[in-house]
Amino acid sequence: MANYSKEMTADGAVTTTSCTVKQVIVSSKGATAGDIVVLRDGGATGTVVLYLVVGAANGTQTVDLPAGGLNIGTSLYYSEQAAAAGKIRTTIIL
């Protein structure tokens, strides 16, 4: 899969096949300190491959993954552990 991105605003599948994550962009507006974004390989209960604490201030965090990126073997699942819904918008670049 090349040149693909998906914007996530709630828990759900990003892909249902293997892929490589190259970049993660997290934008927050009104997020609470300690809110978390999680990427998993293998669905909602799969292995955690990225755990990112979101800043409480409004803004954007960009995570560039090195060299070959983050290889996902089965499927990519996104989830938020947030105090309030709708405060985090995450773009995942594959």
For 73, list phi and psi in degrees, rounded to 5.
Answer: -85, -30
Residue in the block written with tokens 């552990």 = 81
48 in Cβ contact with 39 (< 8 Å): yes
25 in Cβ contact with 91 (< 8 Å): yes
pLDDT of residue 47: 97
pLDDT of residue 34: 86
pLDDT of residue 57: 76
The whole-angstrom separation of Cα 18 and Cα 67 is 18
Count structural domains, the chain: 1
Q: What is the pLDDT along the chain (94 residues), one digit of tens a residue?
A: 457 899 999 999 999 999 999 999 999 988 888 899 999 999 999 999 999 998 877 889 999 998 889 999 999 999 999 888 888 999 999 9
User: By residue range, what is the domain housing residue 13?
Assistant: 5-93
pLDDT of residue 2: 55
In this structure, what CATH number is given to the domain that contains residue 61?
2.60.120
